[in-house]
Chain A
Amino acid sequence: MHLKFKNKRISGILSILPSKEVNFIDEITNYNFSEKQSVKLGKIMGYGSRRIVHNGTTVSDLCTFGLNYLFDNNLLNKDSFQALILCTQSPDHFIPATSNIIAGNLMLNEDIICLDINQGCAGFEVGLMQAFMMLDTGAINRVVLLNADILSTKVSVKDRNSRPLIGDGASITIIENSIVDETIDLFIKMDGSGALSLQIPAGGFKMPSSAETASLKEDAAGNVRSLDHLVMKGDQVFNFVQTKVPELFNEMLVKLNISKSFFDYFFFHQPNRFMLEKLADKLEISYEKMPNNICEKYGNGSNNTVPLAICDNLGGKVKNENFEVCLGGFGVGLTWSLVKCKLGNLNFCEIINYK
């Protein structure tokens, strides 16, 4: 699907990272693999350090902290936005929506629409889509989009398949109406038949957590996890990404009648360095134009990776300069999406530590 949005812009991005850092190399002894095997894995996939939350820190904590930082530093006025969207797959509770909790923490006025969205790897693009649609109503002139996940708490420490990837964090993106006559193009597809290739089997209403779902079992490859943990069919996800993203990318180039050299940067979801290098090779894009450093530096934070990649790789530069960028998300859902937009003159673009 191809959606077009007019006169909208991103005006600021803030990433909030937990200060606790863990290193892949320190965790090797947790896995049922030889040290040599794990070192080789880390080198090829690009595993380094990750930021993870302390026990008890929630998505609402990270988001509330970040929004207070923006209010306190006069980067965002508390009464200047009418919608608070939170994309997360690690909500504080099933009921109520975590965005409502955040609005309550901040004592926002009642003229606010709080909305949680359950999306992961393409959560930034889906969140932008929702924000743009809200702005199109005419009743809303500024939207705060939160992308936050703390999935490290749901990955088995003995699962070498997923554990070395996953990091935690949150990002806050401000989206508003703009007088500049620009079009943002958003391409999105979903395939529910692959919905279970990335999942947490237990803990929902279909399979509530119990002593049985918490019991650890070893899979054929030697990874140990329970039904309460995140599980990923890495081979299927890899093939999905290498097939579907290039297809959508080519569709975008044809429909917009542009070549890939049009873009200054490709800020894509950051599963790990290996996947992004293979994807860049397939799309024939240089690694410099498609940053792949986030998993290695902070961990793959699911929802949080694209805005974090922008903050880390562009930072303050994007306050004064303009870039043509292609944003990309792909994964859990299965959902995949590409956004062509301009990024520039941001009021802020930075990373802060939580507490």
Chain B
Amino acid sequence: MKDELLTKIAEILEVDHVNINDNLKDFEEWDSLTALSIIALADSEYNKKLTNDLLKEFKTINHLVNFILD
């Protein structure tokens, strides 16, 4: 479950893979479109409501993954 989500996040960020300790804002592709893509992913496949405000609070991939899989 977690690996699958990490793969999907990596796809959105256009990198081969992500590590849970990576900082979200360090990714070159981190912008409002990436944010919306992640919000849509959380909604459609995990039924979780993410917002831009919440995303801003998440520092690392780990924070994001924990929220989505919680």
Contacts and interface: CB of A to CB of B under 8 A. Distances in A.
**A and B bound?**
yes
B17 interface: no
B11 interface: no
A238 B36 contact: yes
Given A243-B49, A281-B44, A238 B31 contact: no
B39 A40 contact: no
Nearest to B40: A278
Given A37-B31, A278-B44, A234 B36 contact: yes
Interface of B: 31-33, 35-37, 39-40, 43-44, 49-52
Nearest to B51: A235
Nearest to A33: B31
Given A235-B52, A239-B39, A44 B33 contact: yes
A235 B33 contact: no
A98 to B, nearest CB: 34
B44 to A, nearest CB: 6
Contacts of B43: 238-239, 242, 278
A221 interface: yes
A221 B52 CA distance: 10
Interface in A194-245: 221-222, 233-236, 238-239, 242-243
Chain A: interface secondary structure?
helix
**What bracket does the count of chain A residues touching chain B fall in?**
20 to 34
Chain B: interface secondary structure?
helix
A199 B37 CA distance: 23
Interface of A: 33, 37, 40-41, 44-45, 160-161, 221-222, 233-236, 238-239, 242-243, 274, 278, 281-282
A45 B44 CA distance: 16
A300 to B, nearest CB: 16
A66 to B, nearest CB: 35
List the 7 closest pairs (A to B, CB-CB), nearest first.
A221-B32, A235-B52, A41-B33, A235-B51, A239-B49, A242-B43, A235-B39
Contacts of A33: 31
Of A40, A235, A278, the most chain B CB neighbours within 10 A belong to A235
A37 B49 contact: no
A274 B32 CA distance: 14
Contacts of A234: 32, 36
A162 B24 CA distance: 25
A148 B43 CA distance: 32
Contacts of B44: 242, 278, 281-282
